[in-house]
Amino acid sequence: MARSLWTGSLSFGLVNVPVQLVSAVRDRDVHFHQVHKETGERVQMQRVASTDGKEVDWEDVAKGWETDDDRMIVLTDEDFEAAQPDKTRTVDIDLFVALTDIDPVYFDHPYWLLPAGDGDGPIRAYRLLVDVMAKAGQVAIGRIVLRAKEYLVALREQDGLLSLTTMHFADELRTPDDIGAIPTGKKGKPTKREIDDAVALIGELTDDFKPSRYDDCHRVRLLRLIDEKRKNGEVEIPEHDPEPAPQKAPKDLMAALEESLATARARSKKGGGTATSRGGSKRRAKAG
Both 262 and 144 in one domain: the answer is no
Nearest C-alpha neighbor of 104 from the set 34, 168, 25, 160: 168
* 205 & 112 share domain: no
**pLDDT, position 90:** 87
**pLDDT tens-digit readout, 56-93:** 998 888 899 999 999 999 988 888 877 766 667 888 88
Residues 219 and 97 in one domain: no
**One domain for residues 17 and 133:** yes
* 102 and 18 both lie in a single domain: yes
Shared domain check, 139 and 13: yes
Question: Mean pLDDT lowest for which of 91-95, 152-156, 229-233?
Answer: 229-233
Q: Are residues 12 and 109 in the same domain?
A: yes
Looking at the fold, whether 153 and 88 belong to one and the same domain comes out as yes
Rg of the chain in Å (alpha carbons): 27
Is there a domain that residue 54 lies in? Answer: no
More confident residue, 286 or 258: 258
What single DSSP character describes residue 67? -
100 and 212 belong to one structural domain = no
More confident residue, 184 or 156: 156
Q: Residue 166 is part of a domain; what is its CATH number?
A: 2.40.290.10
For residue 257, give every residue at least 6 positions away whose Cβ sits within 8 Å of its Cβ, in sequence order, or none. Answer: 194, 197, 198, 201
Rounded CA gap, 132 and 186, in Å? 49
Instruction: Identify whether 178 is part of a domain.
Output: no
User: How many domains are contained in the chain?
Assistant: 2
Confirm whether 153 is domain-assigned.
yes
281 pLDDT more than 50: no
The verdict on 158 and 204 lying in the same domain is no
pLDDT tens for each residue of 166-220:
999 999 998 877 777 666 767 778 888 888 988 888 888 888 888 888 888 888 8
- What share of the chain has pLDDT > 70, as a percent? 90
Q: Give 141's pLDDT tier (boundaries 50, 70, 90).
A: very high
105: containing domain: 6-26+84-172
Regarding pTM above 0.85, the answer is no
- Residue 181, domain member (yes or no): no
In this structure, what are the phi and psi dihedrals at residue 13, rounded to the nearest 5 degrees? 65, -125
